[in-house]
Amino acid sequence: MTASTVSPYRPGQQTGRDGFAQLLRAEWTKFRTVRGWVIGLVVAVLVMLGLGLFGAGGSSSSCQSTSGGPARFDQGCFTAPPVGPGGEAVSDSFYFVRQPLSGNGSITVRVTSLTGLIPSGHGPVLRMRPGLVPWAKAGIIIKASTQPGSAYAAMTVTADHGVRMQDNFTGDTAGQPGAVTAADPRWLRLTRSGDTITGYDSADGTHWTQVGTVALAGLPPTVQAGLFAASPAYQAITRSLGGGENGTIAPSQDTAVFDHVSLSGTWPAGRWTGDYIGAAYGGPGGYFPLAPWAGLAVLCGWTAVAVALALVLLRRRDA
């Protein structure tokens, strides 16, 4: 009998073909024969699944909306945008000082100032300077409810577009031109008669001009009416010497001064309520979670990167 010695398999050994598949099979055979490694892998998978389920549950419970907000779908804070009376997705957010108006009535105000703040410069810290975005607006509004997307009609003063009567996110009728100032104020009025809302403006509060009339189908007997202010996001494009462009989108603010507020109809006098109408959409401090297939794609991508790095290291060691 002749004694023989079997040498252990080593990567790069020239006794046979040393391909990646052969190496992978050898490593897998070694891995599955060690019980502690198998148990560790199972525990790691269970821990990752548990953390994922815990995170999903936490994000769903912490997602809140204001004034009813839009309905959630899927998971976490991924929300559907509010839908306007015409069925289109809309952006509906503003500050609202309101009272309930039961039945027919009207609201009249004078606006003597519209000022605001817009971003100044670039960088991680948002700095503000005096200014207004062109469609910053403030005025009076009659709205079916405080639910984002509900029907409305409004008389507004704007930064660059004069007085406007706007309704249901798509209607827009021009009134008096020019910016509002203390020396050149604007008087605004909205009247309700059933489902019909009529808007007026005036330079002196005595001589009124009808700006427009709209019908808000299905307007409830009691609506929310009052004063509002809204300022769209600030957008700017800067061009570099090399011809490139950089875009900036950031929040803006506006502030209006109202006086000579008068009401007619059935109003619960003295019960003004101020709140923000709108919905939460991720943004600063928020996020949109990935859909399941997108999450799987990310996992596969990172796995491919790990395998590629392993191949590079293997070839370097065998060189």
* CATH code, domain with 224: 2.60.120
Confidence label for 109 from pLDDT (cuts 50, 70 and 90): very high
Residues 110 and 250 in one domain: yes
More confident residue, 188 or 276: 188
Predicted pLDDT at 35: 75
In a domain, 9, yes or no: no
Q: Answer yes or no: do 163 and 37 share one domain.
A: no
> Kindly report the CA angle at 13 between 9 and 17, in degrees rounded to 5?
95
Does a structural domain hold residue 7?
Answer: no
Residues 46 and 158 in one domain: no
Longest CA–CA separation in the chain, Å: 124
Which range of residues forms the domain containing residue 36? 17-50
- Asked, for residue 223, whether it belongs to a domain, the answer is yes
How confident is residue 278, by pLDDT bands cut at 50, 70 and 90? low
Are 99 and 245 found together in one domain?
yes
Q: What per-residue string of b and e applies to 208-247 under the rule 16 or more CB within 10 Å gives b? A: eeebbebebeebeeebbbbbbbbbeebeeeeeeeeeeeee
CA torsion 67-70-196-273 (nearest 10°) is 10
Kindly state the percentage of the chain with pLDDT values over 70.
69
CB 77 within 8 A of CB 65: no
User: Pick the residue with more confidence: 292 or 116?
Assistant: 116
37 shares a domain with 108: no
Quick one: 231 and 119 in the same domain? yes
Structure tokens at 279: 């919905």
Where would I find the beta strands (DSSP E) of 120-272?
Answer: 128-130, 137-143, 152-158, 163-167, 171-174, 186-193, 196-202, 208-215, 222-230, 234-239, 245-250, 253-266
Tell me the pLDDT band of 75, cut-offs 50, 70 and 90.
very low
Q: Is residue 21 part of a domain?
A: yes
What radius of gyration do the chain's Cα atoms show? 32
- pLDDT for 74 equals 45
**Token pair in block for residue 317:** 């060691």
The residue whose two tokens read 């009025």 is: 189
Q: Count how many domains the chain has.
A: 2
**How far is the CA of 302 from the CAs of 52, 103, 288, 308, in angstroms?**
17, 62, 20, 10
What is the rounded distance in angstroms from the CA atom of residue 224 to the CA atom of residue 222? 7
The predicted structure's pLDDT at residue 53? 58
Torsion of CA 236, 241, 245, 250, to 10 degrees: -30
Residue recorded with tokens 């996992």:
299
Whether 309 maps to a domain, the answer reads no
- Could you tell me if residue 291 is inside a domain? no
Query: Residue 317 — pLDDT band, cuts 50, 70, 90?
Result: low
What was the pLDDT predicted at 139? 97
Q: Is residue 28 part of a domain?
A: yes
Note whether residue 83 is domain-resident. no
Same domain as 226, residue 107: yes
Residue among 205, 203, 224, 79 at smallest CA distance from 151: 224
pLDDT of 91 reads 82
Question: Residue 267: its pLDDT value, please?
Answer: 86
DSSP characters over 75-131: STT-BPPPB-TTS-B----EEEEEEEEEEEEEEEEEEEEEEEEEE-S-SSS--EEE-
My answer on whether 22 and 156 are in the same domain is: no
DSSP 8-state code for residue 72: B
pTM of the model as a whole: 0.63
Instruction: State percent of the chain over pLDDT 90.
Output: 42
pLDDT tens digits, one per residue of 166-225: 999 999 999 999 999 999 999 999 999 999 999 999 999 999 999 999 999 989 999 999
Task: Report the distance separating Cα 50 and Cα 88, nearest Å.
Answer: 39
Segment 77-89, tens digit of pLDDT: 546 778 888 888 8
107 and 193 within one domain: yes
One domain, residues 166 and 233: yes
Residues 101, 26 within the same domain? no
For residues 35 and 99, membership in a common domain is answered with: no
48 pLDDT above the threshold of 90: no
Place 1 in a pLDDT band, splitting at 50, 70 and 90: very low
Q: Give the single-character DSSP code of 171.
A: E
